[in-house]
Structure 1
Amino acid sequence: MADVIVIGSGVTGLTSAVRLVEAGHQVSVWTRDPLGATTSAVAGGLWWPYRIEPADRVSAWSLRGLEVFRDLAARPDETGVRLVTGTEAGTGFADVGPWAREVDGLREARTDELRGADEHGLRATVPLVDVPAHLTYLSRRLEAAGGRIERREAGSLMEADAPVVVNCSGLGARRLVGDTTVRPVRGQLVVVENPGVEEWYVAAKWAEADTTYLLPQPYGLVLGGTAEEDSWDLAPDPAVAAAVVERCARYVPEVAHAEVLAHKVGLRPARPSVRLEVEPAPDGRRIVHNYGHGGAGVTVAWGCADEVAELVGD
């Protein structure tokens, strides 16, 4: 019998489960979808706090994630984590949170490091995570420590027969706990054959629906993207895909003619602020909520998992 059941097998759920099982708990993860079908599997995988609040807690979570990923990057083939240099265009120190001053090597970009019409930006070497590979790594690490992953959809949190239930259900929190403040932010991206891009490049503004990023992953060059609020459509839109490629080609002209390998759509589970707290259940059990990470789930996963482990205790 598990003493902790984690609902959700995205990066948030699996990372929380790993932390808990390695702390000595008997852990079972319930997942409706296979790992490759989770929202996390569609993520671009760049470590960077993006569209997530509250700023003070996000900084601590993000920096903890940066610390863990730097260690995991020593084994990229196993963990899916690499350290890659790149540019966050259109952004300065005044535009980011307090975490920025704690990132070694983060600096203003030089003119020759900017692309297109961008006039300023930040440069850094940060983790770039091959998220499907990282999910596989997390699942293997969990099972090696004695945890289990079950293909099972929870109709309610009360179905989970364990003293502690960790709710990492993302958008599923709308149904499981009636939290209508969790909303989808639709992201569509295109994966193309990499024409030789080695650095990541992002030009995204917080409030805009159209974003631009190029992320070199082992499986291809990820081109993005969109941030469409309240859209539940999981079908790739050919017109949107064409617009994504066109925007990215303004920065790297070669991508206009690169072979398209895949079209992907994911729904980021956005919320006014992350919900990470304990809620006592009517029957005396404890519910630990850990959801609402929007587009920064990969960035904050390890920091949030550490806090989950503290809340669960021994």
Structure 2
Amino acid sequence: MDTQGSDGIVVVGSGIIGLATAVVLAERGLRVRVWTRDAAERTTSAVAGALWWPYHIEPMASARSWALRSLEVYRELAERPGETGVRLVEGAMGETSLAGVESWAAGRLPGLRPATAREHPARSAVWARLPLIDMAAHLPWLRARLLRAGGTVEERTVSDLAEVDAPVVVNCAGLDAGDLAADPSVRPVRGQLVVVENPGVRTWLVSTTEDGELTYLFPQPGRLLLGGTAEDGVRSLEPDPAQAEAIVRRCAALRPEVAGARILEHRVGLRPARPAVRLERRALPGGRAVVHHYGHGGAGVTVAWGCAEEAAALAASR
């Protein structure tokens, strides 16, 4: 199959998964077009907290492998934080054992150690220096990188993969990917966060209660992100005032200085979850092919580059 032909490869979706996949393909010399209903700034990726950590994704073994490859990329990008939006930031991950992290990331996270009681109140927590990505800067940078490599981005809605006139189409449409693939196993996991003025928090913090409530504080340039929620099967994009109050209250219990921080914005996103990430190539009528690449749940940013390289290899294969 000639993926260098006039129609090249079409990637559907311009979130972090779609853009990373398109960049890998374009930088390998392939002709790539991204078709997207929404600009990158309006995708679920745009409202992600975007701390590198495999979260809410299966299969975990593959996710960790993809995450470690992505970690290598983010470390390189963190050398130019003002340009790429990627920084390496220290923080504490609660309800996590050092042995558990070392079992899959030994030697890959310099400075990894148990967190002190002052750093995190949980009995078991780890301290680490991880990539924290400012998606407001990173997504436009990623799109610009694609354009420099010769790719294109078109805002157009795809309702059926059969309408994509290209030898290969890569389905990276996030939550909509399930509809395009007639896959009912794709479901939303609603996440809500509160953006506040940063009162001086410089490290990130993540904690999970016994009943699964997620709490996090992510310092981004000019603001602090407070979260969050993980509501399985909920599709509402409207911020819930009661949830917002609960988020601030949980975050203030961990970092009291945020209690009176001025609220700048409320955000809601729908994570595209699936029992397992779907990353496979299938035949389409007329000798064409589709690479399904979706179902990354809450870890799209974390696994993006590792997944993108595998998806690109499938798309370019004959």
TM-superposed deviation, 1:207: 7.1
Who is 2:66 aligned against?
61
Residue 33 in 1 paired to residue 38 in 2? yes
Between the aligned partners of 2:107 and 2:10, the Cα distance in structure 1 is 34
SS at match of 1:111: coil
Q: Distance in 2 between matches of 1:217 and 1:306?
A: 28
Aligned to 1:308: 311
Distance 1:56 1:97 in 2: 14
Tell whether 2:264 aligns with 1:261. yes
Amino acid at match of 1:6: V
- Per-residue deviation, 1:205: 5.9
Q: C-alpha displacement at 1:118, in angstroms?
A: 1.8
The answer for unaligned runs of 5 or more in structure 2 is: 1-5
- Structure-2 change in CA distance of 1:206 and 1:75 (3 Å): farther
Task: Find the partner of 1:291 among 280, 288, 294.
Answer: 294
Q: How far apart in 1 are the matches of 2:209 and 2:43? A: 25
C-alpha deviation, 1:103, in angstroms: 2.5
Partner of 1:166: 170
Match of 2:80 among 75, 84, 89: 75
**1:174-203 CA deviation, whole Å, 9 max, x = no partner?**
221111111100000000000000000000
User: In structure 2, what residue type is equivalent to 1:193?
Assistant: E
Cα distance in 2 for partners of 1:206, 1:49 equals: 19
TM-aligned CA deviation for residue 96 of structure 1: 5.1
TM-score w.r.t. length of structure 1: 0.95
The 8 Å contact of residues 91 and 122 in structure 1, kept in 2 or not, is answered as yes
Query: Matches of 1:283 and 1:2 in 2, distance apart?
Result: 14
Aligned equivalents of 2:274 and 2:253: distance in 1?
32
For residues 47 and 313 of structure 2, the distance between their equivalents in structure 1, rounded to whole angstroms, comes to: 29
Aligned to 2:202: 198
Secondary structure of the residue that 1:112 maps to in structure 2? Answer: coil
| Alignment TM-score, normalising by the size of structure 2 | 0.94
Query: Within the alignment, does 1:8 sit opposite 2:13 as a pair?
Result: yes
1:108 counterpart (111, 114, 118): 114
Structure 1 SS opposite 2:293: strand
* Distance apart, 1:97 and its partner CA: 8.3
Structure 1 position 254, deviation (Å): 1.5
CA contact (8 A) 1:216 1:222 kept: yes
Cα root mean square deviation, aligned: 1.5
Structure 1 runs, 4 residues or longer, greater than 6 Å off: none
- Any idea what SS the aligned residue of 1:67 has? helix
1:18 shift after superposition: 0.3
Following the alignment from structure 2 to structure 1, what is the Cα–Cα distance between the partners of residues 101 and 274? 19
Over the matched positions of the two proteins, sequence identity in percent amounts to 56
The answer on whether the counterparts of 1:56 and 1:98 sit within 8 Å (CA) in structure 2 is: no
| Equivalent position to 2:97, from 92, 95, 109 | 92
| In 2, Cα distance between equivalents of 1:213 and 1:312 | 36
SS in 2 for 1:283: helix
Q: How far apart, CA to CA, are the structure 2 residues paired with 1:159 and 1:96?
A: 44
Q: Name the CA shift for 1:145/1:206 in 2 (closer, same or farther; >3 Å).
A: farther
